[in-house]
Amino acid sequence: MSSDQTGHGRADAPGEGNLPERAHDTTPVADPIADPGLPAHQWRPTDVDPRAEKRAERQIVAMFGLSAVCTVLFVVSYFLFEIGEVTTTIGGLGASTVTLGLSLAGALLFIGIGIIQWARKLMADHEIVEMRHPGASSDADRAEILAALNTGLEESGIARRPLVRNSLLGALGVLALPVPVVLLRDLGPLPGDVLEKTIWEEGMRVVRDVTGTPIRPSEIQVGDLINAEPAALFETDDEGEPLYEGVPLQVEKAKGAVIVVRIEPEEITPGEGREDWGIDGILCYSKICTHVGCPISLYERTTHHVLCPCHQSTFDLADSARVLFGPAARPLPQLALAVDSEGYLVAQADFDEPVGASYWERDSR
Amino acid sequence: MRLLNRTAGRLSRHRRGPLAGLLVLLLGLLLTGGLYAAFSPAQAQQAQSDEELVAQGRELFLVSCSFCHGQNGEGVRTSGGNQLGPSLIGVGAAAVDFQVGTGRMPMAQPGQQAPDKGVVFDDEETAAMAAYVASLGPGPAVPDASDYSLEGLSAGERQEAIVRGGQIFLTNCTACHNFTGAGGAMPRGGAAPTILGVEEKYVYEAMLTGPQSMPNFSNGNLTPEEKRDVIAYLQSIDDTPAYGGFGMGGLGPVAEGMYAWLLGIGVLVGFAVWIAAHGARSNKEKVES
């Protein structure tokens, strides 16, 4: 009995004989309703009308021709328009990018359209029935494989020589031992207090980000927002080399970033024990969101709210950066401010809690 | 001399004419006015004009602004304790010039956003109101063109200004205005407006005065030169052609996602429909050759 059967348009209804083995099938053998089979094939105009056929042919050739034209345009624009600093533009857009993109898109698109049109209009479109057939190998093949496998096991003697087998298993087990040792060792060393401390310390000046200039309280007006950094990031050693460079600079900058705002003193609700942390309404908070650590400075001076653009956590800077909204679990850490002998803003101490996002070992303060 | 005498004689014949008195009076008036204009102390006239300007500004203020800002610019609170209009004492002329000059004020209605809906007052009226508000309390004056203008910078200095301004902009402004300056959403229905294509003076005044909920960047915070550098950077963004193609507003993944779903997937669906469409069929039978 054949395992697959194909039929064309007006094929007879597939009878019992066309189906694969049905030994395990419990459904009734005889179909209660005769299978009507496929409807009669209807020809397309291009099949029966030579003029339509010619027209479709011309369309397809035109598409392939257009594609070739686009490819030529692609090459021409590649050599015509410089890439990079040269400012040739078409309608305010980069000329090279636009022409290369459009011509390459056209070259591919017209090939695609041509092929689809070819398939729809000219290629044979007979309905075809392909019967399903079992996926398993034949019984003979399966028996042969099993026999070969058994022979191999028998000849290797793995069942008869347990000492060989067990010593092999033992060697494999020992081989697996170093894997967890190496992997676990690479997880270390433990971070220590890196997550809890920043480079802020007593007497370190609060300076403007980018310019690194120190700030006098008199320079800040109510409603001002200053994005600031610890002064150490802008300092140099005796030889003129910066104290922090490269990755350490980025790490300390990311942890030490603060925002300084000035609020009308009567609008501030100072936190417990934080009464002397501001200077005439000048307050300083960590810029790093306590949710997942986005830098935030979307400050509304009318409401004193700071919004995190990542997940909409909102903090009230007039009230110890209390969380008003959003997924953040704790307020922004506040940096206690003081004024040094020269009249510039300095930190009283490092933050009294870790800045930024929560982590496993952090207590739930 | 004879000619002069003859002219005098002709004039003299008309000295008792009906219009002679009027003519002499007119001449006298013109002379007095002209002499006064030429010799009067310029200072006194200036002060007079300032006072007039403040008075004119106060009248405009009472008609257009006092409903929300109070009759003396002291601000008005609603019975619920919310602010209808903030106090204008100490906001200075720069704030008025920005708010009125960009069409944000007078507002059509109080709300989270003050849209720039079209300028209502001309320059003279704006200056008058600015003078009035400046007279309420000391505040930033309308900046001089030399503060924000990039004229007179050499190409190298301009390039330096753009680089420095870019860093300042990325640190202080991008949080709300987006790193392309296209603006973005703010809490409770507000929005930070686009700052591309805005006049230099108004960008400067916005930084100086902090309109609506924007924090200010007063001269103690960002120096006038740093503010000018930010303007230079914004102009460089404006001048840069869109090399990469359409910027789609530069608003980030929301705008891009909208184009991808509506246009991109729309076109793909269109092609899929075309590929799978059942085309025209004929009733004729094919003649097998």
| pLDDT 10s digits, B160-185 | 999 999 999 999 999 899 888 888 88
Contact A89 B241 (CB under 8 A): yes
pLDDT attached to residue A193:
83
Q: pLDDT-derived band of residue B281, with 50, 70 and 90 as boundaries?
A: confident
pLDDT in tens, B67-76: 889 888 888 8
Instruction: Provide the 8-state DSSP code for A209.
Output: T
Nearest to B280 among A44, A218, A309 (CB): A44
**Can you tell me the distance from the alpha carbon of A45 to that of A254, in angstroms, rounded to the nearest whole number?**
70
pLDDT for A84: 64
Contact (CB<8Å) B210/A298: no
Contact: A298, B176; criterion CB under 8 Å: yes
In tens, the pLDDT along A56-83 reads 999 999 999 999 999 999 999 999 887 7
Packing angle of the helix pair B92-101, B200-209 (nearest 10 deg):
130
Instruction: Please compute the mean of the pLDDT values over residues A184-207 and round it to a whole number.
Output: 87
Is the pLDDT assigned to residue A10 strictly greater than 80? no
Report which of residues A21 and B80 the model is more confident about.
B80
A117/chain B closest Cα distance in angstroms: 8
> Are residues A303 and B213, on separate chains, in Cβ contact within 8 Å?
yes
Mean pLDDT of A336-363: 90
pLDDT band at residue A9 using 50, 70 and 90 as cut-offs: very low
Most B CBs within 10 A among A48, A104, A113, hence the mutation to make, goes to A48
Nearest residue on chain A to B207, alpha-carbon basis: A224
- Tell me the pLDDT tens digit for each residue of A99-111: 999 999 999 999 9
Distance of alpha carbon A85 from alpha carbon A199, whole angstroms: 41
**Of A6-10, A201-205, A331-335, which range is least confident?**
A6-10
B4 has pLDDT over 70: no
Q: What is the pLDDT of residues B109-160, one digit of tens each?
A: 877 788 888 888 988 889 999 999 999 988 888 998 888 888 888 889 999 9
Instruction: For residues B240 and A43, give the distance between their C-alpha atoms in angstroms, rounded to a whole number.
Output: 58
Q: Supply φ then ψ for residue A315, to 5 degrees.
A: -120, 145
C-beta separation of A225 from A190 below 8 A = no
Nearest CA in chain B to A99: B245
| Percent of chain A residues past pLDDT 90, beyond the cut | 55
Per-residue pLDDT band for A345 (boundaries 50, 70, 90) equals very high
Choose among B221, B283, B286: nearest Cβ to A224: B221
In this predicted structure, the answer to whether residue B198 has a pLDDT above a threshold of 70 is: yes
Give the list of residues 6+ apart from residue B129 with CB closer than 8 angstroms, or none.
Answer: B57, B60, B61, B65, B96, B100, B121
pLDDT average, residue stretch B252-264: 89
Interface probe for A, chosen from B88, B169, B243, B274 (most Cβ of A below 10 Å), is: B243
Q: What angle do helix axes B224-239 and B155-172 make, rounded to 10 degrees?
A: 100
CB–CB of B121/B129 below 8 Å?
A: yes
Q: Which residue has the higher pLDDT, A337 or A29?
A: A337
Of B175, B216, B275, the CB nearest to A296: B175
Q: What percent of chain B has pLDDT over 70?
A: 92
The mean predicted confidence, pLDDT, of chain A is 87
**For residue B219, pLDDT beyond 50:** yes
Least confident range from A60-64, A133-137, B92-96: namely A133-137
**Model pLDDT, residue A111:** 97
Query: Which residue of chain A has the CA closest to B86?
Result: A302
pLDDT band at A342 (very low <50, low <70, confident <90, very high): very high
pLDDT score for A4: 42
R_g (Cα) of chain B, nearest Å: 32
Distances (CA, A) of B107 to B99, B116, B129, B253: 10, 9, 15, 32
